[in-house]
Amino acid sequence: MRYFLPLQTNSLFTSCLCIILFFLLIAQAFSDVIAEKAKWKHDAKSAYSIVHDDACDYGKEGIFQTAVPMADARDLPLGMGVIVGQCEDKASWLPNYWEDTIAVYAQNGHEIVNHSYTHASAPGWNKTKEVIESKQVIESHIDDEVTFFVFPLDQYDQATLQYLESNGYIGARAGTEPYNDRGVNIPTAAFNPFHSNFQALESNTGILRTYLNEAINKGGWALQEMHEVGTGSSWGIITPTAYESFLDFVKGRVDDGDVWMGTPSNVVKYIKTYFSSGDVSVNNNTITFATPGNVEQKYATEITVILTFDSPPNDSVYVIQDNIHLEVEQIESKEYHVHMDPTKGDAQITLGTFTVAESINQFKKTIQFNQGIVSALLPEGPYSIRLFTVNGRQVSETITGFSIDEKIHQRVNTQGLSEGFYLLDISYNGGRVCSKILLTR
């Protein structure tokens, strides 16, 4: 059985402390601690990603109308490879098409992957239009960066891979030139994210489970290519019934701890951060990575650190990094997991006890967000307010202040942000809260 302190989560929204508790940390001596990095997030045995190619294409409406709702119901993030020219065409006669579909899915934790502008074959194509202009169009409509590329027809050339790396991408679905490999990615220090292998679903849905099981057995990353979810006859189509059955299978493996399901860019970042940050150790209650400076900032992300005490701690365990209380998950009596970004510096392990000042529900009712104004009743002390996309990218300046144990009012600049869901992050004297808010105009 797993006990959560205070919550097990998969995104910035859930990695913030989404319950509001005032607490007093009491420094105590505790037993020796051994730290090690988990190969995959949550110490899963493998990683898994699904990318639906040809999103926005006519006849592929099932990607948005069927696949996404089914994945959302199971808390499974998807990658959606959009054909940008087709998205633009639909936007020309469907008002707010980008904002009401693509941008919303990005804000809800799915990754918008670039599948080129025209779906042309890479060798001999117009790289500027297919790689750069398409990226710029997507980013002009969503509050996130486009960092992963999937090639049309699974064809590419080495020059295009170099072009991608030089123009803001961190990875691509590409194996052996000119066609992509079919296979599981085995992470190593030499892993090249621009040569990410994959498997394409053509007609035999049985290969889906086989491929995922192979990743679990090998401890690798399976990158699954899919297309339409429906009942038609297009290439690579899968019926809604078969798709839902497979997602149930994936969800079961996730819940069993066999699989971490992440978007392609998040998996790439994890691999690169894991191998670049060096060994992790604990000395005088301080968690330190050996070579955090070797992590390129474009890849920097949270990775899971396993903390093993030589005897069960006699109180709650907290980890504080850069003045932020990180998510801590108790796995067994002596084992805890914490998710931390090595580039943000050392972290302190502290034991403490909760002193509840008022009920969770009462406190949550004090937090309001209206027309960019944040109101909240905070305990006396310093506080900071930030706004993030649901993918964890900060989109506002950090607002700081000092509460004198009364309701505070602060304006957050939302100019230039599209309507949709965001994460309001408030750190205060003794804790942190993250609330999902809806921005409207």
Query: pLDDT (tens digit, 9 = 90+) per residue, 155-166?
Result: 888 889 999 999
**Tell me: the pLDDT tens digits for 11-28?**
443 444 333 333 344 444
**411: its two tokens:** 């304006």
Residue 374 confidence (pLDDT): 83
Residue 365 confidence (pLDDT): 58
Lowest mean pLDDT among 58-62, 161-165, 345-349, 396-400: 396-400
The pLDDT mean for the chain works out to 85
**15: its two tokens:** 């990695």
**301: its two tokens:** 């992300």
**Percent of residues, the chain, with pLDDT higher than 70:** 86
Across 372-388, average pLDDT: 81
pLDDT at residue 387 is higher than 70:
yes
Q: Which of 389, 387, 391, 429 is nearest to 411 (CA)?
A: 387
Residue 362 confidence (pLDDT): 45
Across 64-81, average pLDDT: 96
pLDDT class of 434 with cuts at 50, 70, 90: confident
- What distances in angstroms separate CA 5 from CA 1, 71, 136, 325, one per listed residue? 13, 26, 40, 11
Residue 382 confidence (pLDDT): 81
Across 108-124, average pLDDT: 91
Q: Are strands 111-114 and 79-82 parallel, antiparallel or unpaired?
A: parallel
Beta-strand runs (E) in 177-327? 199-200, 221-226, 259-261, 280-283, 286-289, 303-309, 316-321, 324-325
For residues 69 and 12, which has the higher predicted lDDT (pLDDT)?
69
For residues 428 and 87, which has the higher predicted lDDT (pLDDT)?
87
Residue 177 confidence (pLDDT): 58
pLDDT at residue 425 is higher than 70:
yes
Residue 160 CA to residue 154 CA, distance in Å, equals 13
Following DSSP, what letter does each residue of 355-413 receive, concatenated? ---S-HHHHHTT-EEETTEEEEE--SEEEEEEEE-TTS-B-SPPEEEEE-SSEEEEE--
Residue 181 CA to residue 236 CA, distance in Å, equals 17
Across 420-435, average pLDDT: 76
Lowest mean pLDDT among 243-257, 319-333, 378-392: 378-392
**113: its two tokens:** 């992957």
Q: Which of 127, 111, 195, 129 is nearest to 163 (CA)?
A: 127
User: What residues contact 41, with CB distance under 8 A and at least 6 apart?
Assistant: 47, 260, 262, 270, 302, 303, 304, 339
**Tell me: the pLDDT tens digits for 256-309?**
999 999 999 999 999 999 999 999 999 989 999 999 999 999 999 999 999 999
Q: Provide the CB-side half-sphere exposure for 395 (13 A, CA).
A: 23
9-11-15 Cα angle (round to 5): 55
**Percent of residues, the chain, with pLDDT higher than 90:** 57
Q: What kind and span of H or E run contains 111?
A: strand 111-114
**328: its two tokens:** 């801590």
**Tell me: the pLDDT tens digits for 216-242?**
999 999 999 999 999 988 889 999 999
Which domains are present in the chain?
Answer: 23-42+269-354 (no CATH), 45-256 (3.20.20.370), 360-439 (2.60.40.3080)
pLDDT class of 181 with cuts at 50, 70, 90: low
Q: What count of residues does the chain have?
A: 441
**Tell me: the pLDDT tens digits for 122-142?**
878 899 999 999 999 999 999
Confirm whether pTM is higher than 0.85: no
Residue 360 confidence (pLDDT): 37
pLDDT at residue 6 is higher than 50:
no
